[in-house]
Amino acid sequence: MAEDELLKDLRRRMDGALEVLRKEFGGLRTGRASGSLLERITVAAYGSNMPINQLANISVPEPRMITVQVWDRGLVKAVDKAIRESGLGLNPQTEGQVIRVPIPDLNEERRRELTRVTAKYAEQARVSVRNVRRDGVELLRRREKDAEISQDVQRKLQQDVQHLTDEYVRRIDEALSQKDREILQV
């Protein structure tokens, strides 16, 4: 029973690494508009830095346009400034409380640069999964040393942990190749 709990915990932690990777990929611009592109932006508002989605509605009315409907008229300039200074290369246009953010086309050099960034994110996710595997294997060895489990059970569970790790690394590689295809698509 405790073995099942161990594998569930490791799977949950590996799912977390995969979810972080998906969020990182969502924040990368591919030439298509996505609301997740702006989610990481923080705005100086009400005396602190707040996520943009706590100050406005973000929507995607067209494939190459994001609109940001700011709730507080006094924060429109702060939201506009945060989008401009986000490092995403976006040039927002303000119309009252609505900020329109056109998504420009990507050139070939920028596409190649983004594929290098996606590879870096994927490697970070693989390292996270391997760290989870290492923690699980160390725990199994400790349990075997303390005579909580037999050596045979320890080896079998270690193989299960390795199979789980291989599955998650394969899923990370699939997510990477899908994102690279999306970025390189003209």
* pLDDT in 10s for each residue of the chain, 186 residues: 477 788 899 999 999 999 989 888 876 766 667 777 787 788 888 888 888 888 899 888 888 888 999 998 888 999 999 888 877 778 899 998 899 988 877 778 778 878 888 898 899 999 999 999 999 999 999 988 998 888 888 899 999 999 999 999 999 999 999 988 888 876
> Rounded distance, CA 35 to CA 3, Å?
41
> Rounded distance, CA 72 to CA 69, Å?
9
| CA atoms 48, 54, 57, 58: torsion sign | positive
> Rounded distance, CA 55 to CA 90, Å?
19
- Alpha helices (H) in the chain, listed in sequence order: 2-26, 76-84, 108-145, 151-184
Res 10: pLDDT: 92
Do the beta carbons of residue 161 and residue 137 sit within 8 Å?
yes
Res 11: pLDDT: 93
Res 29: pLDDT: 64
- Identify the structural domains of the chain with CATH numbers, from first to last: 2-26+107-184 (1.10.132.20), 35-102 (3.30.1360.40)
Burial environment of residue 73 by CB neighbours within 10 A (0 to 12, 13 to 18, 19 or more)? exposed
Region of 69 (left: φ > 0; alpha: ψ -120 to 50; beta: rest) is beta
Closest CA to 83 of 128, 35, 47: 35
pTM score, whole prediction: 0.67
> What's the one-letter identity of residue 83?
I
